[in-house]
Every structure is written in structure tokens, then in C-alpha cells.
Amino acid sequence: MKIILALFIAFSLYADIKQNMFNLYQNKKYVDVCDIGFNNFGRFKNDEEFVSLYAFACLNSDYLDRLSIPIAILKFSAEARANSAYFAVILMQKKLLYHALIDGYNLSSLDLPSTDYVLSKVFDLYAKLGEHESRAFYLFEDDTDKKLTYKLYLTKDDKLSKIVIEEFYDTITLKRHVYW
Amino acid sequence: MLNIHELESKWLNYKIKSYIPHAVIIISILIIFIIVLTILEYSSYIDSNNQVPEQEKTSVIVLEKKVEPTTKELNTTQDKNLSLATISLEDIDKVIEQMYLKQEHLAQSNKLKEKKIVLSPSLEFMNSMHDNALPYYEEDKKAQVKTQKSTNTDQANKQATSKNEAPEKTKIKETVQVDSIEIKRQNTREDIQSVIKRFKKSNNPILSLFVAKKYYEIGEYNMSYNYSLITNELNNNIEASWIIFTKSLVKLNKKEMAVKTLQQYVEHSQSNQAKLLLDEITSGKFK
């Protein structure tokens, strides 16, 4: 009887965390979802729905390095594999852009797939520039909407440089993304 | 005596002279035929060269240079020229074919380069999670109910403690609470009006979307429909605007229109939020 009760409580807790995460995700509280997922990852790592939700929340809250484990884990369903490839491309583009901005690595010869994520758009626009002298900041115009512009630059702390992408719509700042 | 040898030589000369016009006619016909053939081939070659785009012009010039000496040779020796001309023209045809093949290949590769592979996320798992989880707007309702309950309990406690106080005081409290609610509503309306003024000046879709959302929150679905429509006209890629637009349509009892527009938007954008809303509308969860 005690075992059944313990199992029931454990199951309800399991469902509670997942539902809570889903509700928070629906309310666009991506940072909270990413943190909850990160703290409970060990318990739910075999649940692809949970891992996918956690990964999308981290993606939307710009914690891209947290995608590395979901990329490795998501593989058992077609949907999971598609999402894994999607995350992998974004993570790789972030790393390459970081390398290019800091060390002057030439991206023009690369022909990578793209995604709808803001970093991918900026990556493609940056790669189109080809070989060039490094600038203090880059301003790119969106291919589909000319009022939508992206400003790309590096911020340098004592130890670490960070990529900053600012989205503008007609001079109004929409969102600021920071990656490192 | 007749000199037979002399007569025979004269006869031979006569015979040769009689064949000369025939030979001249045949040779002239042959020459005309060769000239006509070369002119025709050369004109067709020039036409094909004109169709080659500018990128390939450099290679065509090189080819022309190769062709020129062959045509000069044609003028000098007839028999040799004929064979050379035919060979060179065949070669030109082959080269042109190869050029076209290369050109097509380049165009295809350029197209492939332009059409980048775009990976898109798959959020189908959300649907299964959505069926299990409570929708977020219900949660809001729950929260509202909870707050209402808490306020009621607070009021009950207060009433219990202030039983000895006069009933007039409780009446005053109620009127104060009613006033506070009214003040909130006026504030949102004032906000909306100020944003509308800003929108009229700047025509910024973000402002019109804000207005649409606020009108939807108040429950003025006609106005939220209007402003979301304006937003969509200004920028048809804003997901939130399409969602407010279709929600307003549903609230205005135009469910079919809402479903149609949302279906078209989903086809256009593959938006997952729009898909979820479409499922909710079609299943009757969203009314």
C-alpha cells in the first residue's frame, strides 16, 4: 500500500513539473522553464517531450549552451531528430560567429543550412559579407522585412567577450540577445 | 598526203576545248555551293553566339579567333577547305553544346546556393502536452477566482471583526471599491487613447497591436478586430496580431471566417501558436 502511495505521489509530482513547465512556456516565461528543466533534467532525461520543451525554452531565453545535451539525447523519434538537427545548426552557428567575430575567421566559404532563429539570420547576413576588416558593429537589414534590422557587435568584459544582437523595428528596439 | 598526227592533235585540242564550258560550269557550281554552305553555317554560329550571356562572352571571343583562320583557309584551297570547314563547324557545335550544359549547371548550382536549406522546429509534441495540461487562460481564471475568494474571505473577516461598527461604514467601503474598479478601466482607456494618438503619428504596427490587445482585454472585440486588421495590413508577419484578429472574430460569432483566416496563416507561417489556437477553435475549446 505504501509503495503504491509513494508511486502515486512520485507520478503526480512528475506530471506537476511537466505541466507547470508547459503552462509557463505558454505564458512565455522561457527563463523559468529553462531553469526548472535544468534543475530537474536528471529525472526526466528519458522523456523526449520534457527534453524538447526544456530545449525550446532555453533557445528562446538565449541559453544556447544548454542545448548541447538535448542535441545528444533527442534521437528516438523523427520529431526529436528534426529538433536535434535544428538546435545543432543554431549552436554551431553561434560558435562559428563567435570565432569569426573575435578571431576574424572567414565564414564566406561555408554553406550551412539556415533556420528561422534570429542568430541564424544574422549568421547568414554576416557570412554574405565575405572577407572584410573587422568593424565596431554591423547593421543588417532583414531580407523579408526592410523595416526589421539587426545590430551585431561584441561586448568585452575582463575575461569574456559576448556577442550582442539587437533587433530593431523601425528604430524601436524589439529584443536584445546576448550569447557567449 | 594528210598529216595524221597533226590532225589527231587538232582533234584532241578541239575535244578538250569542247569540255571546258562543262568543266567551268561544274566547278563554278561547286564553288557557289561551298560559299553558300559556309555563309549559312557562319550566320547560324553568330546567332548562337548572340544568345550566350555576357558572362560567357570572353570564351566566345576565343572561339571566334579559332574560327577565323579556318575561314581564311577556305578561301585559298577548295577541297581541303570543305573538309576543314565541316570539321570546324562540328567542333563549334560541340563546344557550344558544352557551354550551354555548363551554363545550365552553373544556373542550377546558383539556384541551389540561393535556396538554402532551412531547418524548422517541430512542435508537435506540444499538442500532446497541451491535451494533458490546463490552458493558460483557464489558469488566469483560476487565479482570478482565487483572488476573488481571498478578497471575499478578507471581507468576511473584516465584517466579523467590525460587527460592532455601524452599517454605514460598510456601505462607504463598498462604494470605494466600486470606484477603484472604475478608475482602473478609465486608465486603460486613457492608455489606449494615448497609444492611438502615437500610432496615428508614427503608423507603427507595434502600437496598433498594443491597442488591439488592450481592446481585446477590455472586451471590445470590434475595436480589437479593427486594430489587429490594421496591424496585419501594415505588417503581415506579426503572429500575435493574427491571433488577436482570429480571437476577436470568434468572439464576434464569425467562427468560420476565423478558422479560414487562421488556416491560411498557418499554411503561410507554420506558426505553432496559431496551430494550437486553430485546434482550440475547431474543437470548441475556445469560444
Instruction: Check whether B158 has a pLDDT greater than 60.
Output: no
Q: What is the pLDDT of residue B131?
A: 67
Q: Which three cell numbers stand for residue B30?
A: 561547286
| DSSP state for residue A64 in the 8-state scheme | G
Residue A167 forms beta bridges with which residues? A150, A175
Q: How far is the C-alpha of B227 from the C-alpha of B242, rounded, in Å? A: 11
Does residue B138 sit within a domain?
no
Q: Looking at the structure, tell me whether residues B29 and B70 fall in a common domain.
A: no
Q: What is the pLDDT of residue B33?
A: 93
Does residue B160 sit within a domain?
no
Q: What is the pLDDT of residues B12-38, one digit of tens each?
A: 999 999 999 999 999 999 999 999 999
Sign of CA dihedral B132, B240, A119, A153: negative
Query: Domain range for residue B2?
Result: 1-49
Q: Which CATH number is B272's domain given?
A: 1.25.40.10
Query: Containing H/E element for A176?
Result: strand A172-179
pLDDT band at residue B275 under the 50/70/90 scheme? confident
Instruction: Check whether A3 has a pLDDT greater than 70.
Output: no
Among residues A103, A74, A101, which one has the least CA distance to residue A86? Answer: A74
**For chain B, what percent of residues have pLDDT higher than 90?**
11
Cβ of B119 and A89 within 8 Å?
yes
Q: Is A161 on the interface with B (CB under 8 A)?
A: no
Q: How many helices (H) and strands (E) does chain B have?
A: 11, 1
Taking CA atoms, B255 is separated from A127, B213, B246, in Å, by 46, 19, 8
Q: Looking at the structure, tell me whether residues B95 and B192 fall in a common domain.
A: yes
Q: Which phi and psi angles does A138 have, rounded to 5°?
A: -120, 135
Find the closest chain B residue to A124 by CA distance: B116
Q: Looking at the structure, tell me whether residues B1 and B123 fall in a common domain.
A: no
Q: How far is the C-alpha of A134 from the C-alpha of A49, rounded, in Å? A: 42
Q: How many CA atoms lie within 13 A of B276 on its CB side?
A: 19
Cβ of A56 and B121 within 8 Å?
yes
Residue A150 forms beta bridges with which residues? A140, A167
Q: Looking at the structure, tell me whether residues B184 and B110 fall in a common domain.
A: yes
Question: What is the average pLDDT across B68-75?
Answer: 48
Which residues of B are less than 8 Å from A86 in CB distance?
119-122
Cβ of A85 and B119 within 8 Å?
yes
Question: What is the average pLDDT across B147-160?
Answer: 51
Q: What is the pLDDT of residues B77-96, one digit of tens each?
A: 555 555 555 556 677 777 77
Q: Looking at the structure, tell me whether residues B28 and B79 fall in a common domain.
A: no
Q: How far is the C-alpha of A22 from the C-alpha of B133, rounded, in Å? A: 7
Q: Which string of DSSP letters, residue by residue, matches B105-120?
A: HHHHHHHHHHS--EE-
Q: How far is the C-alpha of B33 from the C-alpha of B3, rounded, in Å? A: 46
Cβ of B119 and A115 within 8 Å?
yes
Find the closest chain B residue to A116 by CA distance: B120
Does residue B54 sit within a domain?
no
Contacts with A173 (C-beta within 8 Å, 6 or more apart), sequence order: A166, A167
Does residue B105 sit within a domain?
yes
Q: Which three cell numbers stand for residue B207?
A: 502600437
Sequence length of chain B is: 287
Q: What is the pLDDT of residue B279?
A: 85
Q: What is the pLDDT of residues A46-105, one digit of tens each?
A: 899 999 999 999 999 999 999 999 999 999 999 999 999 999 999 999 999 999 999 888
pLDDT band at residue B135 under the 50/70/90 scheme? very low
Which residues of B are less than 8 Å from A124 in CB distance?
116
CB B216 within 8 A of CB B247: yes
Which candidate from B113, B116, B125 shows the least CB-CB separation from A79? B125
Best to test chain A binding among B118, B119, B130, B139 (most A CBs inside 10 Å): B119
Find the closest chain A residue to B136 by CA distance: A23
pTM: 0.47
Place of cell 488577436: B244
Q: Looking at the structure, tell me whether residues B99 and B193 fall in a common domain.
A: yes
Q: Looking at the structure, tell me whether residues B217 and B279 fall in a common domain.
A: yes
Cβ of B136 and A26 within 8 Å?
yes
Q: CA triplet B263, B269, B270: central angle to 5 degrees?
A: 75
Cβ of B132 and A19 within 8 Å?
yes
Q: Is A85 on the interface with B (CB under 8 A)?
A: yes
Among residues A119, A50, A111, which one has the least CA distance to residue A83? Answer: A50
Which candidate from A18, A23, A115 shows the least CB-CB separation from B139? A23
Which residues of B are less than 8 Å from A19 in CB distance?
132-134
Torsion angle in degrees (nearest 10) through CA of A151, A52, A180, A103: -80
Cβ of B136 and A86 within 8 Å?
no
Q: Looking at the structure, tell me whether residues B8 and B105 fall in a common domain.
A: no
Does residue B219 sit within a domain?
yes
Q: Looking at the structure, tell me whether residues B43 and B71 fall in a common domain.
A: no
Does residue B228 sit within a domain?
yes
pLDDT band at residue A156 under the 50/70/90 scheme? confident
Q: Which phi and psi angles does A106 have, rounded to 5°?
A: -85, 120
Among residues B65, B64, B48, which one has the least CA distance to residue B99? Answer: B48
Cβ of A145 and B237 within 8 Å?
yes
Q: How many CA atoms lie within 13 A of B233 on its CB side?
A: 8
Does residue B234 sit within a domain?
yes
Strands A161-169 and A148-156: antiparallel
What average pLDDT does chain B have?
A: 72
Q: What is the pLDDT of residues B218-233, one digit of tens each?
A: 888 888 898 988 888 8
Q: How far is the C-alpha of B42 from the C-alpha of B70, rounded, in Å? A: 11
Min Cα–Cα distance to chain A from B110, Å: 12
User: Based on the structure, what is the number of domains in chain B?
Assistant: 2
Q: Looking at the structure, tell me whether residues B189 and B264 fall in a common domain.
A: yes
Q: Is B133 on the interface with A (CB under 8 A)?
A: yes
Q: Looking at the structure, tell me whether residues B119 and B198 fall in a common domain.
A: yes
Taking CA atoms, A173 is separated from A27, A147, A166, B186, B207, in Å, by 22, 12, 7, 29, 13
Helix (H, G, I), strand (E, B) or coil at B33: helix
Q: Looking at the structure, tell me whether residues B45 and B125 fall in a common domain.
A: no
Does residue B249 sit within a domain?
yes
